Protein backbone atom coordinates (compact mmCIF):
# COMPACT_ATOMS: atom_id res chain seq x y z
CA UNK A 1 0.00 0.00 0.00
CA UNK A 2 2.15 2.75 1.12
CA UNK A 3 5.65 2.59 0.06
CA UNK A 4 8.23 4.63 1.80
CA UNK A 5 10.66 5.90 -0.72
CA UNK A 6 13.97 6.68 0.97
CA UNK A 7 15.07 9.20 -1.66
CA UNK A 8 11.88 11.17 -1.28
CA UNK A 9 12.20 10.93 2.47
CA UNK A 10 15.75 12.28 2.39
CA UNK A 11 14.77 14.98 -0.16
CA UNK A 12 11.85 16.03 2.06
CA UNK A 13 14.13 16.07 5.09
CA UNK A 14 16.67 18.23 3.22
CA UNK A 15 13.96 20.63 2.01
CA UNK A 16 12.51 20.81 5.56
CA UNK A 17 15.91 21.50 7.16
CA UNK A 18 16.74 24.07 4.47
CA UNK A 19 13.37 25.75 5.05
CA UNK A 20 14.01 25.86 8.81
CA UNK A 21 17.51 27.32 8.25
CA UNK A 22 16.18 29.96 5.82
CA UNK A 23 13.22 30.85 8.05
CA UNK A 24 15.55 31.01 11.06
CA UNK A 25 17.93 33.44 9.38
CA UNK A 26 15.35 35.55 7.55
CA UNK A 27 12.33 35.53 9.90
CA UNK A 28 12.96 34.24 13.41
CA UNK A 29 16.30 35.93 14.17
CA UNK A 30 15.09 39.43 13.10
CA UNK A 31 11.80 38.85 14.93
CA UNK A 32 13.59 37.79 18.15
CA UNK A 33 16.02 40.70 17.78
CA UNK A 34 13.08 43.11 17.43
CA UNK A 35 11.35 41.56 20.46
CA UNK A 36 14.50 41.83 22.63
CA UNK A 37 15.02 45.43 21.51
CA UNK A 38 11.42 46.21 22.40
CA UNK A 39 11.86 44.60 25.84
CA UNK A 40 15.01 46.69 26.42
CA UNK A 41 13.17 49.85 25.36
CA UNK A 42 10.33 49.04 27.75
CA UNK A 43 12.83 48.52 30.59
CA UNK A 44 14.52 51.84 29.77
CA UNK A 45 11.16 53.60 29.71
CA UNK A 46 10.24 52.07 33.08
CA UNK A 47 13.58 53.25 34.52
CA UNK A 48 12.93 56.73 33.14
CA UNK A 49 9.49 56.68 34.73
CA UNK A 50 11.09 55.68 38.02
CA UNK A 51 13.59 58.52 37.76
CA UNK A 52 10.75 60.85 36.79
CA UNK A 53 8.89 59.76 39.94
CA UNK A 54 11.93 60.67 42.02
CA UNK A 55 12.22 63.96 40.18
CA UNK A 56 8.53 64.64 40.73
CA UNK A 57 8.88 63.89 44.44
CA UNK A 58 11.87 66.24 44.67
CA UNK A 59 9.95 68.96 42.86
CA UNK A 60 6.92 68.44 45.09
CA UNK A 61 9.11 68.74 48.20
CA UNK A 62 10.69 71.86 46.77
CA UNK A 63 7.25 73.32 45.99
CA UNK A 64 6.02 72.50 49.50
CA UNK A 65 9.05 74.19 51.05
CA UNK A 66 8.50 77.26 48.86
CA UNK A 67 4.83 77.35 49.89
CA UNK A 68 5.75 76.98 53.57
CA UNK A 69 8.30 79.80 53.27
CA UNK A 70 5.73 81.96 51.48
CA UNK A 71 3.21 81.31 54.25
CA UNK A 72 5.77 82.28 56.87
CA UNK A 73 6.66 85.43 54.98
CA UNK A 74 2.97 86.28 54.56
CA UNK A 75 2.35 85.77 58.29
CA UNK A 76 5.34 87.95 59.15
CA UNK A 77 4.21 90.62 56.72
CA UNK A 78 0.66 90.44 58.09
CA UNK A 79 1.97 90.84 61.64
CA UNK A 80 4.13 93.78 60.57
CA UNK A 81 1.20 95.48 58.85
CA UNK A 82 -1.03 94.90 61.87
CA UNK A 83 1.66 96.26 64.20
CA UNK A 84 2.16 99.31 61.98
CA UNK A 85 -1.59 99.91 61.82
CA UNK A 86 -1.86 99.63 65.61
CA UNK A 87 1.02 102.05 66.09
CA UNK A 88 -0.55 104.50 63.66
CA UNK A 89 -3.91 104.20 65.41
CA UNK A 90 -2.26 104.69 68.81
CA UNK A 91 -0.40 107.77 67.59
CA UNK A 92 -3.65 109.23 66.19
CA UNK A 93 -5.44 108.44 69.46
CA UNK A 94 -2.65 110.09 71.48
CA UNK A 95 -2.73 113.13 69.23
CA UNK A 96 -6.49 113.39 69.61
CA UNK A 97 -6.20 112.91 73.40
CA UNK A 98 -3.62 115.69 73.58
CA UNK A 99 -5.82 117.95 71.44
CA UNK A 100 -8.87 117.20 73.61
CA UNK A 101 -6.83 117.77 76.77
CA UNK A 102 -5.68 121.17 75.51
CA UNK A 103 -9.26 122.04 74.50
CA UNK A 104 -10.46 120.94 77.94
CA UNK A 105 -7.85 123.12 79.64
CA UNK A 106 -8.91 126.07 77.49
CA UNK A 107 -12.53 125.36 78.40
CA UNK A 108 -11.69 125.19 82.13
CA UNK A 109 -9.80 128.48 81.89
CA UNK A 110 -12.69 130.10 80.04
CA UNK A 111 -15.11 128.67 82.58
CA UNK A 112 -13.03 130.02 85.47
CA UNK A 113 -12.88 133.46 83.82
CA UNK A 114 -16.62 133.37 83.20
CA UNK A 115 -17.24 132.28 86.80
CA UNK A 116 -15.07 135.11 88.11
CA UNK A 117 -16.79 137.61 85.82
CA UNK A 118 -20.22 136.36 86.87
CA UNK A 119 -19.20 136.46 90.52
CA UNK A 120 -17.90 140.00 90.19
CA UNK A 121 -21.04 141.04 88.27
CA UNK A 122 -23.23 139.51 90.98
CA UNK A 123 -21.18 141.17 93.73
CA UNK A 124 -21.52 144.52 92.01
CA UNK A 125 -25.27 144.11 91.75
CA UNK A 126 -25.84 142.94 95.38
CA UNK A 127 -26.93 146.42 96.55
CA UNK A 128 -29.53 146.53 93.73
CA UNK A 129 -30.83 143.11 94.76
CA UNK A 130 -31.04 144.21 98.37
CA UNK A 131 -33.09 147.26 97.41
CA UNK A 132 -35.34 145.15 95.19
CA UNK A 133 -35.89 142.65 98.02
CA UNK A 134 -36.67 145.50 100.46
CA UNK A 135 -39.14 146.96 97.99
CA UNK A 136 -40.87 143.60 97.62
CA UNK A 137 -41.05 143.12 101.42
CA UNK A 138 -42.45 146.58 101.84
CA UNK A 139 -45.19 145.82 99.32
CA UNK A 140 -46.23 142.75 101.24
Distance between start and end Cα atoms, the chain: 181
What pLDDT is attached to residue 90?
96
3-state secondary structure 81-118: HHHHHHHHHHHHHHHHHHHHHHHHHHHHHHHHHHHHHH
What pLDDT is attached to residue 16?
97
What pLDDT is attached to residue 1?
60
Q: What is the pLDDT of residues 19-35, one digit of tens each?
A: 999 999 999 999 999 99
Spans of the chain below 50 pLDDT: none
What is the rounded distance in angstroms from the CA atom of residue 106 to the CA atom of residue 99? 11
Q: What is the pLDDT of residues 9-22, one digit of tens each?
A: 999 999 999 999 99
Amino acid sequence: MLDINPILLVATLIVFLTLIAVLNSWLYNPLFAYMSKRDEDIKKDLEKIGSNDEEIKELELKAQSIIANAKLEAAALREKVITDAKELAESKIEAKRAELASQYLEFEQLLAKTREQLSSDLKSQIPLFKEAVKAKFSQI
